[in-house]
Structure 1
Amino acid sequence: MFGKEKAQKQPETLGEFIRSILIAILFAMGIQTVAYQTFNIPSGSMKPNLLIGDFIFVSKFAYGYTHYSIPFSPPLFEGRLFGSEPKRGEVVVFRAPHKTNSEDWIKRCIGLPGDKIQMRGGVLFINDQECPLEKLDGDFLDTLYIKYNGDGTEERILDKNGPSIERYMQTLPNGVKHIIIKEKPFGLARLDNTPELVVPAGHYFMMGDNRDGSDDSRNQQALGFVPYENLIGRAELIFFSTEARWWEFWNWLTGIRFNRLLNVIR
């Protein structure tokens, strides 16, 4: 053979392999911290816009960064860096302000600091202005839902003939439109009537699009107002969706909802 014989590539040592893995992990953590975090929808509180089994990208830089932006949320600093406030109508992932501060929730931002929020007969009022609802043709067919039993346990129900729920287009005071669903008659659901709630400075009022199936800021004991510091990011895109449980990877292909892939979240 002409030329210098190529040196044989040396096999990677265990130390080099571990270093490569650590670099990959640090890179992924960096992306999750400063750019986009993946989030799996575990409940039906945001139906029909987000379904159980949707996997979404959440923009971390949309509202800036707090210590909740960092994996495992170490209390390295207080406040928010490069902060920007959410707009009314945006879908937001946040750390629920419970005692443990360990759960990430997703809801729609309805109320801004200083707003007066009230539910009257199932209709939303913001600063005494009614948010009109327009009945839409075609009900939402709820094929995958969580059934709550009287003993406190839960069942995950997959039923192609599940309940049909009425859909409405709601218009917020800033003109943002989004779809909600309403299962019970107006005025009869447990959170259809509330006192007037004034959003404190530095806090936000969050609601689920599944109006009768969401514990949110209407229930001050369950969630209440969400502090600005607890905001993690804005939900942007559904990149994957399946009716299979997230760990049932062998059922992912048969359970894929192809019509939901790469849908922009509104």
Structure 2
Amino acid sequence: MSQPADKSANKSATNEWVETFVVVVEALLIAIVLRSFLYQPFSIPTASMQQTLMIGDYFVANKYVWGYGKHSFSLGRYGNFTALDFELPISNRILGRDPNRGDVAVFRPVPQNIEYIKRIVGLPGDRVQMQGGRLYINDVMVEREEIGTTMDTDSSGQTVEVTVYRETFPEGTTHTIQEISDSAPLDNTQVYVVPAGHYFMMGDNRDRSADSRVLSQVGYVPDINLIAKAEARFFSIKDNLPPWQIWQWPANVRWDRMFQSVYK
């Protein structure tokens, strides 16, 4: 008389296992879809965008706002970390709008095979130049206002004093930049004429950023190589500590940088 009960119990256990498996698979598929088509998290390993994005900041980027390009579905590739690198066989972006000057972009430089994040400074057809530490767009000097000074530490642990400025683009959008001086190697450049269908990128930490001013390393970024628009920080920890080390959080998490737009 106990055999039917055993079979029923086994069937029930099997059904529960199957249901759990289905739920896990559904959750994974939803996560993959969200990460592939809508929003993707990234982390910051270098100082090139400080103070907007600090080493140890984690942010979410909008993947659909500019549509989809060649590297839109390269998941988990940033810095020295590689999980999946899938290149779409397309020659033009599909869907989405064009970026605006001042947007913070995740992109793949043509000479590189890893993601970069910089601010879009030059639009197609623009003339961009640095003279004496000042940014010129279409032969007009971009307005900047000194805010103060602070100490800036890069990924190698080197700390220097920097001057902080509020810079205002011609369209009226503002953001914060840092300068060690106005006479660093990339503070005086040639005139860059941005080709059609390309963008000119610069880091907010102007003297600690390898960006479009270095043509051999970054250069002009094709529209199709844009991946996502940075939107908001959701986590931040000092010294780029692994976020899973929860015991490090009390002394090292930067609570004041969490859940904030990168455009504040």
What TM-score, normalized to structure 1? 0.84
Alpha-carbon contact 2:237-2:243 (below 8 Å) kept: no
Deviation at 1:235, TM superposition (A): 0.6
Aligned to 2:164: 167
C-alpha distance after superposition, 1:112-161 (max 9, x if no partner)? 00000111111000000100221113x2333x4222xxxxxxxx46xxxx
Selected match of 1:95 from 108, 112, 121: 108
Selected match of 2:58 from 55, 58, 62: 55
Alpha-carbon contact 2:55-2:239 (below 8 Å) kept: no
Q: What does 1:194-213 align with in structure 2 at a 5 Å threshold?
A: 194-213=189-208
Higher helix share: 2
1:183 aligns with 2:196: no
Deviation at 1:79, TM superposition (A): 1.8
Deviation at 1:102, TM superposition (A): 2.4
Q: What does 1:91-240 align with in structure 2 at a 5 Å threshold?
A: 91-98=104-111, 101-137=112-148, 139-142=149-152, 144-147=153-156, 156=157, 162-184=159-181, 186=182, 188-240=183-235
C-alpha distance after superposition, 1:181-237 (max 9, x if no partner)? 1112x1x20101111110000000000000100000111112100000011111110
Q: What does 1:61-76 align with in structure 2 at a 5 Å threshold?
A: 61-70=64-73, 71=75, 72-76=85-89
Deviation at 1:20, TM superposition (A): 4.5
Alpha-carbon contact 1:243-1:252 (below 8 Å) kept: no
Unpaired segments of 5 or more residues in structure 1? 1-6, 148-155
Alpha-carbon contact 1:244-1:252 (below 8 Å) kept: no
Deviation at 1:177, TM superposition (A): 1.1
Deviation at 1:15, TM superposition (A): 6.6
1:35 aligns with 2:30: no
C-alpha distance after superposition, 1:86-121 (max 9, x if no partner)? 1001111111212xx521110000000000011111
Corresponding letter in the other structure for 1:141: M
Alpha-carbon contact 2:160-2:180 (below 8 Å) kept: no
Distance 1:175 1:114 in 2: 19
Corresponding letter in the other structure for 2:50: K
Aligned to 2:81: none
Corresponding letter in the other structure for 1:232: I
Distance 2:160 2:44 in 1: 20
Alpha-carbon contact 1:48-1:140 (below 8 Å) kept: no
Deviation at 1:23, TM superposition (A): 3.2
Unpaired segments of 5 or more residues in structure 2? 1-7, 76-84
Deviation at 1:28, TM superposition (A): 1.2
Selected match of 1:80 from 57, 71, 93: 93
Q: Secondary structure at the match of 1:135?
A: strand
Distance 1:240 1:265 in 2: 12
Distance 1:37 1:89 in 2: 20
Q: Secondary structure at the match of 2:224?
A: helix
Q: Secondary structure at the match of 2:35?
A: helix
Q: Percent identity?
A: 37
Q: Secondary structure at the match of 1:249?
A: coil
Distance 1:13 1:95 in 2: 44
Aligned to 2:255: 258
**How many residue pairs end up in the alignment?**
243
Distance 1:212 1:229 in 2: 27
Deviation at 1:76, TM superposition (A): 4.3
